Amino acid sequence: MRTGDYVADSVLPIFASGQAELIDDSHAFGSDLWLEPTPGHTPGHLALHLSDRRRQVILSGDLMHHPLQLRYPDWSTRFCSDPAMARATRREFLARHADTDALIFPAHFPSPTGGFIERRGDHYGFRFDGETNDNFG
């Protein structure tokens, strides 16, 4: 169930003003800023990667809504348009970024929001940046 007409409210005005520029799902804005398709939550859902020589930062959007989804990656929200695809995308993302120095910023996690994906036996956990442990493992 969607809340409100977000297309008419937030998307159409950008097109009407001539400010929209359509790009490919894996568009790179340069060598340090690029998009990654992360399907399942909504059609066209993307993660934004920012990288320099020292660190990679990923704005993962709605790929995960709560840190418990690292412990239970098969859990989807009622807002996922394709729950099976959302689960598969989340599992692949977690496997790829676990135990790396990639700083992940999910859209809906509590403050301090950013953190790191860690393997915890047969599942994953999320360690918020600056913390030594968490309560979601």
Assign 120 to helix, strand or coil. Answer: strand
Q: How many H helices and E strands in the chain?
A: 4, 7
Of 133, 100, 137, 95, nearest in space to 116 by CA: 100
What mean pLDDT is reported for the chain? Answer: 90
Check whether 137 has a pLDDT greater than 80.
no
Task: Give the sign of the dihedral formed by CA 1, CA 79, CA 35, CA 44.
Answer: negative
Q: What are the residue boundaries of the structural domains of the chain, listed by start? A: 24-128
CA distance 100 to 98: 6
Query: What is the reported pLDDT for 94?
Result: 97
CATH level 3 topology of 24-128: Metallo-beta-lactamase; Chain A (3.60.15)
pLDDT tens for 42-78 read: 888 999 999 988 899 999 999 999 999 999 999 988 8
Give the pTM: 0.82
Which residue is associated with the tokens 């990656």? 73
Contact 56, 101 (CB under 8 A): yes
CA distance 119 to 24: 32
Assign 14 to helix, strand or coil. Answer: helix
Contact 65, 75 (CB under 8 A): no
